[in-house]
Amino acid sequence: MTLISCQGVRKNYGRVEALRGVSFAVRENSCLGFLGPNGAGKTTTIKILAGLARPDAGQVEVAGVDVVQDPAGVRRHIGYLAQSPAFYNWMSGEEYLLFCAGLFKLPRREALQRTRELLALTGLEKAARRKTGGYSGGMKQRLGIAQALINRPKVLFLDEPVSALDPVGRHELLELIRELKQDSTVFFSTHVLNDADQICDDVVILKEGEVALQASVEELRQGYTDPVFELELESAPDGLLDKLQVLPYYQSHQSSGQLLTVVVSDLAQAKLQLPGFLWTEGAVLRRYQLKTPSLEEVFLRVVSK
């Protein structure tokens, strides 16, 4: 089931074309990595999806609700964490979540219960009654996640939620997002490609206000995989490299110590025959791996075209 549908969306700021016919879809209970260089239009797109900005053209639906026709209806189904969340420094974390619950008109008993649940989920129980003005950057990001979840949203929009965190805080927040996508569809905008590689199921890459690519992470890896095998040899018989070079799918190789990198012309044939060739020749392997690109490598290829 599709939870987010964006078709032909355009948005101008004066003479600047921020979005130029953006189209993509996001499936239910998945995590979409929304990627792109600075100025590509990521934040503008999120604001439109969240009902905080109007597109100049195009159709947008979130959780089955038309964003243009019923922006208030959309906001009942979503949670939103801005790139730089702001809080009332004189409020405690607990008070702030109760305030957010009131905005959604949650009954008092339900608001208290939901606040306790989210403080526990985000690891803020011990800091619940501390003023948010004294929270660290990581704690504020956690509180921002908590407020975005207060209404049990079907769709959770996160605009670069880990950009200000240290490595430990980033790891913990990514683990939390991984858990959240079991109950919500997560729209995860980030410029930290390694983070998206860890938790996202699908990816949309935006470039200069247009969708440059949309695919699942697995499809990306397969589609951009180079025909290169990395072999770490514990021992190699004499003449192995000479015999390797006469194979019909051989193209080139590099050898450095015990590491042998082999480039092939026919990936499918090499997958079937190269392991058998090595075994027949008596090569002892420590590692045999088809080199697959990281999401960062794919991203750089796409945006550099």
Q: Is the pLDDT of residue 114 over 70?
A: yes
Q: Is the pLDDT of residue 168 over 90?
A: no
Least confident interval from 56-65, 173-182, 205-214, 281-290: 173-182
Q: What is the mean pLDDT of residues 251-259?
A: 86
Backbone φ and ψ for 105, nearest 5 degrees, come out as 60, 35
Q: Is the pLDDT of residue 38 over 90?
A: no
Q: Is the pLDDT of residue 17 over 90?
A: yes
Q: Is the pLDDT of residue 95 over 70?
A: yes
pLDDT in the model for residue 196: 85
pLDDT in the model for residue 163: 67
Backbone φ and ψ for 76, nearest 5 degrees, come out as -70, -20
Q: What is the mean pLDDT of residues 136-164?
A: 88
Least confident interval from 68-82, 141-155, 178-192, 202-216: 178-192
Every domain of the chain with CATH number 3.40.50.300 lies at 2-222
**H or E segment to which residue 22 belongs:** strand 16-27
Residue 164 confidence class, pLDDT cut points 50, 70, 90: low
CB 121 within 8 A of CB 176: yes
Q: What is the mean pLDDT of residues 130-138?
A: 90
User: How crowded is residue 65: how many other Cβ atoms within 10 Å of its Cβ?
Assistant: 19
Q: Which CATH number fits domain 2-222: 3.10.105.10, 3.40.50.1820, 3.40.50.300, 3.30.110.30?
A: 3.40.50.300
Helix/strand/coil for 68: coil
Q: Would you tell me the crossing angle of helices 137-148 and 167-180 to the nearest 10 degrees?
A: 10
Q: What average pLDDT does the chain have?
A: 89
Q: What is the mean pLDDT of residues 17-29?
A: 93
**What distance in Å separates the CA atoms of residue 151 and residue 191, rounded to the nearest whole number?**
27
Residue 166 confidence class, pLDDT cut points 50, 70, 90: confident
Please name the residues in contact with 13: beta carbons below 8 A apart, sequence gap of 6 or more: none
pLDDT in the model for residue 83: 79
CB 106 within 8 A of CB 130: no
**What distance in Å separates the CA atoms of residue 80 and residue 186, rounded to the nearest whole number?**
10
Secondary structure (H, E, C), 245-256: CCCCCEEEEEEE
In this prediction, what percent of the chain has a pLDDT beyond 90? 48
Q: Is the pLDDT of residue 210 over 80?
A: yes
pLDDT in the model for residue 102: 94
pLDDT digits (tens, 9 = 90+) for 227-236: 889 988 887 7
Q: Is the pLDDT of residue 11 over 80?
A: yes
Residue 21 confidence class, pLDDT cut points 50, 70, 90: very high
**What distance in Å separates the CA atoms of residue 32 and residue 185, rounded to the nearest whole number?**
8
Every domain of the chain with CATH number 3.30.70.100 lies at 226-304
pLDDT in the model for residue 90: 95
CATH architecture of 226-304: 2-Layer Sandwich (3.30)
Burial class (CB in 10 A: 0-12, 13-18, 19+), 289: exposed
CB 96 within 8 A of CB 147: yes
pLDDT in the model for residue 70: 93
